[in-house]
Structure 1
Amino acid sequence: MVSQHGILLAAGLISDHFGPLVAKVCECLLRHGALQLPEIARRLKLPRNHLKNSLLVLIQHNCVQAFSSPNGKPSIV
């Protein structure tokens, strides 16, 4: 697990480079681990298109990875 200070540092760096919305998504994943898209949206109460755009930025910069779980549902980590 990531320490509280590590989460704040990572969120600060992401915020500086990509903005507060992307940092909010990153912080959620750091705190809760791999989550499915609907679960991230529920926790953050973000519109789906904002969430998808934020995840796209994080994926393109190799900050997170998307994968299919054994039950066939995609997750983000």
Structure 2
Amino acid sequence: MSKEDFKILPLHKKIQTLYAEGTFVVGIRYYTHKVNLYLLEDEYIEVFYNHKLDKIDKIDFLDHQHTRMKFYLDQIQLSV
């Protein structure tokens, strides 16, 4: 599945795809969210779970420039 195809999926289909085809890498706490990082094919995807509201707020591709990267760097391998 291409990155563009994944982006246009509805939230429930993104969840289904990640759980069926993705590999869980690590979970972190980030402000009000638990962020689970998945590897799908060769892309890392973050799932933002709001535990207070008991819902997934966002699923998006990992932004390699974001400060959250420091939480992941010992767990993932990025190609240059």
What TM-score bracket applies, with the shorter chain setting the length? 0.3 to 0.5
TM-score by length of 2: 0.33
Higher helix share: 1
Higher relative CO (Cα under 8 Å, sequence separation at least 6) belongs to 1
- Larger % of strand: which? 2
